[in-house]
Structure 1
Amino acid sequence: MATIRDVAKKAGVAISTVSLAMNGTGPVSAETLKRVQDASAAIGYTPNGLAQSLKRGHSKLVGLVLGDIGNPFFSRLLRALETALSETDHMVIVAETAAHPERERNTIEQLRRHRVGGILMAPMMNDPAFALFLRRLDIPVVLIDQNVEGADRDFVSSDNALATMILTEYLRRLGHRRIAFIGGDPVQGTAALRLKGFRETMAAAGLPVDPALEVVADFSGEKAYDHVVRLMSRPQRPTALIAASNLMALGALQAIHDLGLDCPGDVSLTGVDDVPWGNVVRPRLTIAAQPVEELAQRAATFLTERMKLRGCAGLPPRTHIAIPKLVLGTSCAPPRGEGG
């Protein structure tokens, strides 16, 4: 079996130079690095990842904890995070909690036992006990999409309130007044912020919100479908809908079609985040899109910095809030008739 000594002999350099080149921990010229890489390839030498981790004091494995990989937003986030972390030779272990908050703590403990160097997570729980658990962890953790109050961890998210502000204002400018909001459980921070953005924009425009037009669909397409069927069967039905997630927007669109209504002729529809196969869905949805690649890059940078410096002791928790973008489709139009 080839060893680091064999690589050094083949490349004509010291063993210490090979170590620096392999670990990326010291000044090695591009020419020397290439000689070491060519020598390694020629004799079939592969560095021992565990041994390198012990020398560095941390593993280059990263745990990623998500509630629902089937959600298009999280699948895009996973792809972007893997791309960003691969640039620094980190490998991602993905763990799904099936949107069960109680499984988050157990999943994190399992990742620790597998000696990951850090954890990225989009948490479901947001309570004092979970915040204390995260605060006491002895490995770096970066929270994505939803913060946990009191956890004192780095946090990366889009401006969730702004996302629905953008959509509400756009519909208002088209002339809509009866706008329904299809949201998640307000107990979750992301859902609460998106509801807040809708309400504040309506209030600023002097538009009353009928409580019956605010429904909770738990970010589920099926529940959104049921709610939209009821909303669009009302005598005074809404002229526009805001779905606070992509899956709820798809459920809403299916309900509109199944009711024999036209979108946007009978009702306009907007959503947060793009939908799967968005280019072939008709009408093309108007959305507030989150900059997923920006979120992934910043989260990866926060985590790898703390992993490299063993937690960055003394560095306070950092927050990065990205700005969503309005992407116009063909799912919105001015309301028909008077008093929209």
Structure 2
Amino acid sequence: MVGMRDVAKRAGVSLSTVSLVVNASGYVSQDMRRRVEQAMQELDYIPNELARNLYRGRTGMIGVIVPTLRHPFFATLVSALQGRLAKHDLQTLLCSTADADTGEAEYVSRLRRHMMDGIIMAAHTDHPADYWTSIGRPVVAFDRTLGDTIATVRSDHEQGGRLVAGQLIASGAHRVVMVGGPRSQFDDRGGGATTFPTVRYFQTLAEQLEAAGIRHEYVECGAVADVEGYARTVHALFDRLDESRSDGGAAHAAGVVPVDAVVGSDVVAACAVKEAFTRGLRVPRDLQIIGYDGTCLADCAGLSLTVVKQDFSTLAERLATHIVDAVNRADGRGKTTAGAGAAEAVVPAGAAEVAQTVQSSEVDIVPVSLSLGDTTRPVA
């Protein structure tokens, strides 16, 4: 097996020079570096990654904790994030809390034992803020607040709520049903620490509809990992809508306004399109449907969905930037990447409001955009 001593001999340099080149540490002249790299290529020398990481005091591994990979949102996010971390020579160690027995506590234990360099936390947690801040190791939060000293990256869900409301108000909606996760996850642990991230867009949407005099209600579906639960909830909702339509005369006499819009995740929206087709409803004439996320389902639901798109590429970039900065700070190397390559997200022309991107050590908010499809009525 070829080792660094063989490379040093071939290149005619010291073993320490080869070590500096392999571990990318210390100064080596360009001439020396070329000689070492040429010798490595000629001998087909492959550096021992484990030994190199031990030398650097790192594992080269970032734990990414998500609730499930069955939901297209998290599958899309992890795909983008894995590619972005790889550009920093970091491997992704994935923990899907609902799909495996290994939960967040095991990953935190590994982090404390320096078996990982850091954690990106993107799942619901019952632990209070002081649990996360007491770890004393690099942690970055996605779409939730874990503590004042832990950086958070999230989409601008308030903007998302305003974009949905603006579309529904302008298109003449009368009664809107919002379908989302359990209300038990809507709690606030202080300082806006919502554990169910998209509650922000539901709250903003409800406020905007209320102000416009449009009736609305919230329907709970299962936890994010219960994809079948979304389908069951939407099916039951349409059963209820069928009953109200069959008793239309009495309902009209009682002043009941029929539901003419459904809002939920891409999964909910796709299920709603299917149910509408099955029951002979005309979309968007009889029923408008708006999705939230902008995953592949937006184009695979039978109709092109009108959706609020989250910017997965920028979210992944910001998460990678923050975790690399946190790891560098833990190593005493200072902050080296914050803000680097942070692409400016632009809301498409015609959107009523454009939210400014917030860059700070505490929260990094990425704008969203509204993509119009075939499931909403055109507006003048």
Q: Which TM-score band (shorter chain)?
A: 0.7 to 0.9
Within 5 Å, give how 1:140-155 maps onto structure 2.
140-148=138-146, 150=147, 152-155=149-152
- Give the corresponding residue for 1:200: 207
Please say if residues 270 and 301 of structure 2, whose CA atoms lie closer than 8 Å, have aligned partners that are also in contact.
no
- Give the corresponding residue for 1:319: 363
Please say if residues 123 and 147 of structure 1, whose CA atoms lie closer than 8 Å, have aligned partners that are also in contact.
no
Percent identical residues: 28
Q: 1:169, CA displacement in angstroms?
A: 1.1
- Give the corresponding residue for 1:229: 238
- Give the corresponding residue for 1:108: 108
1:215 aligns with 2:219: yes
Q: 1:85, CA displacement in angstroms?
A: 1.2
Q: 1:114, CA displacement in angstroms?
A: 7.3
- Give the corresponding residue for 1:302: 322
* SS of the residue 1:175 aligns to: coil
Within 5 Å, give how 1:239-318 maps onto structure 2.
239-243=260-264, 245-310=265-330, 317-318=361-362
> In angstroms, what is the RMSD of aligned CA positions?
2.8
Distance, in Å, in 1 between the alignment partners of 2:372 and 2:101 is: 35
Distance, in Å, in 2 between the alignment partners of 1:100 and 1:209 is: 41
1:169 aligns with 2:166: yes
Q: 1:81, CA displacement in angstroms?
A: 1.2
Q: TM-score, normalised by structure 2?
A: 0.77
Shifted more, 158-167 versus 51-60: the winner is 51-60
In the alignment, which of 157, 167, 176 is matched to residue 179 of structure 1?
176
Shifted more, 165-174 versus 234-243: the winner is 234-243
Q: Deviations over 1:53-79 (max 9, x none)?
A: 222222211111111112111111111
Distance, in Å, in 1 between the alignment partners of 2:29 and 2:232 is: 59
Please say if residues 247 and 275 of structure 1, whose CA atoms lie closer than 8 Å, have aligned partners that are also in contact.
no
* Equivalent residue pairs, number: 328
Distance, in Å, in 1 between the alignment partners of 2:109 and 2:52 is: 23
Q: 1:42, CA displacement in angstroms?
A: 2.5
Please say if residues 181 and 198 of structure 1, whose CA atoms lie closer than 8 Å, have aligned partners that are also in contact.
no
Distance, in Å, in 1 between the alignment partners of 2:168 and 2:131 is: 42
Q: 1:252, CA displacement in angstroms?
A: 1.9
Q: Which runs of 5+ in 2 are unaligned?
A: 186-194, 246-256, 336-359
Q: 1:36 to 1:177 in 2, by over 3 A?
A: farther
Alignment-mate amino acid for residue 218 of structure 2: E
* SS of the residue 2:197 aligns to: helix
- Give the corresponding residue for 1:44: 44
- Give the corresponding residue for 2:259: 238
Distance, in Å, in 1 between the alignment partners of 2:101 and 2:9 is: 54
Q: TM-score, normalised by structure 1?
A: 0.86
Q: Deviations over 1:164-212 (max 9, x none)?
A: 221121111111121221122242331321221211211332x1434xx
- Give the corresponding residue for 1:338: none
- Give the corresponding residue for 1:2: 2
Within 5 Å, give how 1:94-133 maps onto structure 2.
94-98=94-98, 103-110=103-110, 112=112, 115-128=115-128, 131-133=129-131
Q: Which runs of 5+ in 1 are unaligned?
A: 336-340
Please say if residues 278 and 285 of structure 1, whose CA atoms lie closer than 8 Å, have aligned partners that are also in contact.
yes
Q: 1:101 to 1:45 in 2, by over 3 A?
A: closer
Q: 1:101, CA displacement in angstroms?
A: 11
* SS of the residue 1:190 aligns to: coil
Q: 1:132, CA displacement in angstroms?
A: 2.3
Alignment-mate amino acid for residue 82 of structure 2: E
